[in-house]
Amino acid sequence: MPFKAGSFTEVLTQHGVARRDFLKFCGVMAGTLALPHDLQTQIASALEAPARTPVIWLEMQDCAGCSESFLRASRPSAAGVILDVLSVDYHETIMAPSGHQAEKSLNDAIAAGGYLLVVEGSIPTKDNGVYCCVAGKTALQSLEEASANAIAVVAVGNCAAFGGIPKANPNPTDAVSVMDLVTDKPVLNLPGCPVNVVNLTATVVHFLTFGALPDMDGLHRPLFAYGARIHDNCERRGHFNAGEFVKEWGDDGHRHGWCLYQMGCKGPVTYHNCPTVRWNEGVSWPVAAGHPCIGCSEPGFWERPTYVPVELHEFTPPATYPDVVKEMPAIDPTNAAVTGVVAGLVAGAAGAVAIQQLGKKDPEDEEIVED
């Protein structure tokens, strides 16, 4: 959506975002992207530049939860303005036009090219993908058309990134993820259920500032957000190390904010930045609220039993120490007595048999003696 130079501040003002808040937002973005704070200025000027990178947002087999997440700001935020007002050209849930008008704006944007394609939801492939159709086109077709002119494809939410709930067993629609289908364009995954809007915004901001996608891990997840495990930065980690675990909902440990590992927390095997950026503008996040992490940014998370402790793959020492004096296993008097009696019986029996045998003369021996 083109807009005149200099009007950025006006747009912000219209949405009740002060310049100060905008700069603070740029600082937060620099922090989320793990960039030096000095880059805040660079980010601000990149965002204020008149040339915008449009965003097209397609919804496939999804619950619109990621869209909700991105609209969930309690007040109009700088992030909302950047994504919603200035960049997003087409979004099925939140755009004002509908029907043919909406399709026209989509086709216009695709024809213009040079956009970031955001995909939410998995894509059904069974029966030629008839299980998800918009405007008479299947999700497969829409994705193929929309990704053709895109600079890059951003898969938001676990469904788009790894298949999510639609792909979970028994997967009735043969749902697949975006990276299973789009092979000719760079694909960036922002898994989560839903995606955290901070990470989506930071990815867009990174792209606007540097003209490139951020560094990614093996699963195409940006390292700035998915470089560390929940467990690594968890505020309850100290309790894990000390061996202080919640054993039951509402027990004393739960009230004292102890570690939720034994209640099924997937933090030790889940890569996400929830503990640092948190949710709802930094208000809280599941583990802070007393619920174990469900591992929503990992492939196949829906197949994992939520309240069963996850199998650990990396082990760390506890916060306790072995004693220099090694405890020798104490001998139980009962065991000693039983062992003694048994040994005595065996020895006694053997002795008795031996005496009996010695008393007898071996006929063969006698023969030899006579010889």
Partner 1 sequence: MTVDRRDFLKMSGAGLGGLALSSFESSNGASHSPEADEDHSVLYDATICVGCKACQVACKRRSNLPPDLDSEGIFDAPKGLTADSWTVIELYQEDPVTYSFVKKQCMHCIDPACASGCIVSALYKTEDGPVLYDGDKCIGCRWCMTACPFQVPKYQWDKTVPFVQKCDFCSDRQDEGLDTACVAACPTGALLSGKRGELLEVAENRIKDFPDRYVNHLYGKDEVGGTSWLYLAGVAFDKLGLPKPDKIGTISPAKLTWPYMMAVPGIVVFMTGLCTGLYYYFRRGEKTGEEA
Go through 127-143 and write b for each residue having 16 or more CB atoms within 10 A of its CB, e for each that does not: eebebbebeeebbbebb
Query: With contacts defined by CB under 8 A, how many residues of the chain interact with partner 1?
Result: 14
| Contact flag: residue 16 with partner 1 (CB under 8 A) | no
Instruction: Compute the least distance from the CB of residue 236 to partner 1, in Å.
Output: 14
CB 156 within 8 A of CB 120: yes
H helix runs in 131-210, sequence order: 139-148, 157-162, 164-167, 178-181, 197-210
Q: Considering the complex, state which of residue 326 and residue 360 has its C-beta at the smaller distance from partner 1.
A: 326
Minimum CB separation of residue 371 from partner 1 in Å reads 10
Contact residue for partner 1 among 6, 169, 303, 321 (CB under 8 A): 321
The separation between CA 311 and the C-alpha centre of its own chain, rounded to angstroms, equals 16
261 binds partner 1 (CB under 8 A): yes
HSE-up of residue 244 (Cα within 13 Å, Cβ side): 14
Taking the CA atoms of residue 123, residue 307, residue 71 and residue 19 in that order, the dihedral angle to the nearest 10 degrees is -130
Judged by beta carbon, residue 170 or residue 322, the one nearer partner 1 is 322
Which CB atom, from 38 or from 371, has the smaller least distance to partner 1? Answer: 371
Rounded to whole angstroms, how far apart are CA atoms 200 and 29? 10
Among the listed residues 303, 68, 295, the one whose alpha carbon sits nearest the alpha carbon of residue 196: 68
322 binds partner 1 (CB under 8 A): yes
Give yes or no for residue 315 binding partner 1 (CB under 8 A): yes
User: What values do phi and psi take at 33, rounded to 5?
Assistant: -80, 5
Considering only 74, 98, 169, 320, the residue that binds partner 1 (CB under 8 A) is 320
Check binding of 238 to partner 1 (CB under 8 A): no
DSSP state string for 87-135: IEEEETTT-S--HHHHHHHHHHHHHH--EEEEEESBEE-GGGGTTSEET
Task: Confirm or reject binding of residue 330 to partner 1 (CB under 8 A).
Answer: no
Of these, 326, 361, 365, 367, which contacts partner 1 (CB under 8 A)? Answer: 326
Q: Is there binding between residue 324 and partner 1 (CB under 8 A)?
A: yes
Q: How far is the CB of 111 from partner 1 (least distance, A)?
A: 53
Span interacting with partner 1, options 8-16, 124-132, 144-152, 322-330, rule CB under 8 A: 322-330
Residue 320 gets the label, from left (phi > 0), alpha (psi -120 to 50) or beta, of beta
Shortest distance (Å) from residue 318 CB to partner 1:
4
Shortest CB 305 distance to partner 1, Å: 17
Of the ranges 154-162, 167-175, 280-288, 309-317, which one interacts with partner 1 (CB under 8 A)? 309-317
Residue 51 or 325 having the CB closest to partner 1: 325
* Residue of 113, 238, 318, 348 that binds partner 1 (CB under 8 A): 318
Residue environment code for 41-73, b if the CB has 16+ CB neighbours within 10 A, otherwise e: eebbebbeeeebbbbbbbbbbbbbbbbebbeeb
Does position 323 interact with partner 1 (CB under 8 A)? The reply is: yes
Helix 19-32, helix 7-14: angle, nearest 10: 100
90 lies in the site for partner 1, by CB under 8 A: no
Chain residues that interact with partner 1, rule: CB under 8 A: 243, 261, 312, 315-318, 320-326
